[in-house]
């Protein structure tokens, strides 16, 4: 019987930008099922990397999942439209206290996340409030936290000239600011006033950055979906649409809780990264990219099963750092579809 109950009424939405289910899905479930009994996997329909055994474990949403990295006119990346997947799952699962969104290759520091208020939004917002951390020497020092999401220039500026320094994705005519502006302008005036209130001079900006960790409290689910739907009517890509939606929707009386989320390109792509940041005096609430395996020549995927036990040990280390108790995870894959169990009413799910 499960001993851990902190996230019993939270739906963990695990998305795949590519159909790399296979060991990634299995290992993710083995590692986190003890802590998140309500877990949904969502991803594109193509199963070429997954194998038939996983075909019915994934809610399918293939919108914008095609990838073409060879076209110099449009660098089309699969994960840019993954916010459609979040909308799909949240729309069809209305009865949860909160929704935690993360890709399969993001590590979750459970002892840290359990200290976050589930009635508030979580994101690495530049206006976020740090969650107290007894393991840090000065947990309110911005220099000891992960980089926050970025604040855009004024949308009224020339998008082809004044935005160049903000990154090619954001001024891309296909998915960047030119695509996002129509949705932005349709947002209610009350939301525009809320967004402007974040800035001293009352101007409006977009927010942009990694959307690999986001928590939406259930009480704000309807407003969040209504606003996100405006962006889904455009080709605005995820890393503008999701952060901007959060900052449009969050009530004026609330602050977003800051997630120490790290986004890395270079190894180590495993729990070693977290221990390294601890040594440097930082915290890691979540990080992307974490590898449960790697592509191997002549194989669909080469698994790293040792990462399961290593993450479990890391979570125990984190619990000791935080001074909290964390039951030892012993969950194994049962063969039951996680999407099927998540459809049950909360009071009917198995302990």
Which sequence spans correspond to the domains of the chain? 10-348
pLDDT at 334 over 50: no
The confidence band for 33, taking pLDDT boundaries of 50, 70 and 90, is very high
DSSP count for the chain of H helices, then E strands: 11, 15
Max avg pLDDT among 60-64, 199-203, 305-309, 336-340: 305-309
Could you tell me how far CA 237 lies from the centroid of its own chain?
14
CA-to-CA separations, 344 to 9, 39, 93, 348, 350, in angstroms, rounded: 12, 12, 10, 6, 9
Q: Which tops the pLDDT comparison, 73 or 37?
A: 37
pLDDT at 117 over 50: yes
The confidence band for 15, taking pLDDT boundaries of 50, 70 and 90, is very high
What pLDDT does 293 receive? 87
* Angle value at C-alpha 10, between 1 and 119, nearest 5 degrees: 130
What pLDDT does 166 receive? 66
Could you tell me how far CA 252 lies from the centroid of its own chain?
23
The confidence band for 165, taking pLDDT boundaries of 50, 70 and 90, is low
- Contact yes or no for 248/194 (Cβ under 8 A): yes
What pLDDT does 61 receive? 78
pLDDT at 343 over 60: no
The span from the CA of 72 to the CA of 66, in Å, is 16
The confidence band for 210, taking pLDDT boundaries of 50, 70 and 90, is very high
Find the range with the poorest average confidence among 109-113, 165-169, 287-291.
165-169
- Tell me the average pLDDT across 60-65: 72
What average pLDDT does the chain have? 86
What pLDDT does 75 receive? 62
- Contact yes or no for 67/79 (Cβ under 8 A): no
pLDDT at 47 over 90: no
Q: What is the pLDDT of residues 255-309, one digit of tens each?
A: 999 999 999 999 999 999 999 999 999 999 999 999 998 876 655 568 899 999 9
- Tell me the average pLDDT across 207-221: 95
The confidence band for 156, taking pLDDT boundaries of 50, 70 and 90, is confident
Which of 223, 258, 234, 190 lies closest to 83, judged by CA? 234
Find the range with the poorest average confidence among 170-174, 226-230, 263-267, 308-312.
170-174
The confidence band for 50, taking pLDDT boundaries of 50, 70 and 90, is low
- Tell me the average pLDDT across 40-50: 76
The confidence band for 49, taking pLDDT boundaries of 50, 70 and 90, is low
pLDDT at 338 over 60: no
- Contact yes or no for 135/283 (Cβ under 8 A): yes
pLDDT at 346 over 70: no
Q: Which tops the pLDDT comparison, 86 or 177?
A: 86
Number of residues assigned to the chain: 351
What pLDDT does 336 receive? 36
Max avg pLDDT among 86-95, 202-211, 298-307: 86-95
Which of 246, 237, 240, 187 lies closest to 217, judged by CA? 246
């Amino acid at each position: 019987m499960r001993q851990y109950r902190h996230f019993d009424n939270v739906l963990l939405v695990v998305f795949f930008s590519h159909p790399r289910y296979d060991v990634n899905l299995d290992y993710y479930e083995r590692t986190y099922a003890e802590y998140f009994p309500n877990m949904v996997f969502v991803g594109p329909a193509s199963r070429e990397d997954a194998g038939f055994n996983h075909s019915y474990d994934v809610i399918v949403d293939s919108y914008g999942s095609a990838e073409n990295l060879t076209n110099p006119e449009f660098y089309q990346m699969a994960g840019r439209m993954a916010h459609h997947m979040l909308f799909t799952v949240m729309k069809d699962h209305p009865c949860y206290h909160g929704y935690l969104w993360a890709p399969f290759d993001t590590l979750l520091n459970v002892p840290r996340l359990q200290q976050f208020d589930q009635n508030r939004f979580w994101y690495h917002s530049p206006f976020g409030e740090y969650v107290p951390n007894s393991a840090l020497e000065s947990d309110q020092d911005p220099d000891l936290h992960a980089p926050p999401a970025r604040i855009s220039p004024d949308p009224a500026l020339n998008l082809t000239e004044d935005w160049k320094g903000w990154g090619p994705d954001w001024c891309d005519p296909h998915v960047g600011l030119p695509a996002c502006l129509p949705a932005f302008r349709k947002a209610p005036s009350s939301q525009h006033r809320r967004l402007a209130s974040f800035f001293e001079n009352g101007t409006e900006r977009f927010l942009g950055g990694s959307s690999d960790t986001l928590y939406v409290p259930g009480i704000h689910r309807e407003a969040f979906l209504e606003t996100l739907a405006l962006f889904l009517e455009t080709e605005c890509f995820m890393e503008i649409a999701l952060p901007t939606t959060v900052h449009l929707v969050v009530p004026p009386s609330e602050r977003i809780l800051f997630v120490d989320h790290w986004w890395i390109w270079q190894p180590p792509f495993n729990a070693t990264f977290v221990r390294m940041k601890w040594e440097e005096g930082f915290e890691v609430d979540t990080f992307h990219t974490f590898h449960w395996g790697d592509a191997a020549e002549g194989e669909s995927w080469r698994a790293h099963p040792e990462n399961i036990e290593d993450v479990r040990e890391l979570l125990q280390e984190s619990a000791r750092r935080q001074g909290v108790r964390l039951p030892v995870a012993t969950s194994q894959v049962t063969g039951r579809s996680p999407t099927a169990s998540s459809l049950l009413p909360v009071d009917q799910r198995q302990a």
